[in-house]
Structure 1
């Protein structure tokens, strides 16, 4: 995971829309990054998972930013199931990620 940190930091700097979920005191618990009506990143603090934060962020961007697509690592069935629960369906598969690494990617859309 640590090797992904530079990619995430670079991605955040270049993302079109970045929304942060905070508690009433302003403590961040998650964020979502959107580019061209596609979810590019979604992170929720592991201590706060299962509380509806990810679902709230995704539902918000679907309605407010007309988001309709997301790519998911095929080796992450939890993420695939999460997006399927929210109405996304797999329409294509790539053998590599966008950086050319051998991580199969599922392309999903509403």
Structure 2
């Protein structure tokens, strides 16, 4: 697995990884929510983030990515077919250790993600009733313990 900085040329592939990931983990989202988020991810959110790609060594395909802004992990997505292989952990450790990220938000309904972040030292420090788009998908605000 190779880690490298992402560029705008990678965005169409990142959108596919994002969609694969959320379809596997965000079963609470409606189809219209996913379709409404696609252009926002591609044109609004990705350009404002420092992107780190996880690429497979043997074929260089992108299998996951993080998007970090200042000390916040704004995105961490792993292709659905690659889940459970340590990619998310490597991306998280890279973001926390090399980029100094110590905060993130996670959908309250995404129990696997909450468990993952808690396992890696994050704790819940707050909650919002709505997500970043004002939709009724509560967010948990998490911070790395000891920071």
Q: Which TM-score band (shorter chain)?
A: over 0.9
Q: Which residue of 1 aligns with 2:51?
A: 18
Structure number with the higher helix fraction is: 2
Q: Could you state the TM-score of these two structures normalised by the residue count of structure 1? A: 0.93
For the residues of structure 2 that align with 1:101 and 1:49, how far apart are their CA atoms? 27
Residue 54 of structure 1, CA deviation = 0.4
State the SS of the aligned residue for 2:106: strand
Aligned pairs, number: 109
Q: Which residue of 2 aligns with 1:82?
A: 116
State the SS of the aligned residue for 2:131: coil
Q: Deviations over 1:9-44 (max 9, x none)?
A: 1211221x1000001131110010001111101110
Preserved contact between residue 74 and residue 105 of structure 2 (Cα < 8 Å):
yes
Q: Could you state the TM-score of these two structures normalised by the residue count of structure 2? A: 0.71
Q: Which residue of 1 aligns with 2:37?
A: 4
Q: CA RMSD in A?
A: 1.0
- Could you tell me which runs of 5 or more consecutive residues in structure 2 were left unpaired when the two chains were aligned: 1-33
- Could you tell me which runs of 5 or more consecutive residues in structure 1 were left unpaired when the two chains were aligned: none
Residue 103 of structure 1, CA deviation = 1.3
Rg bigger for which structure?
Answer: 2
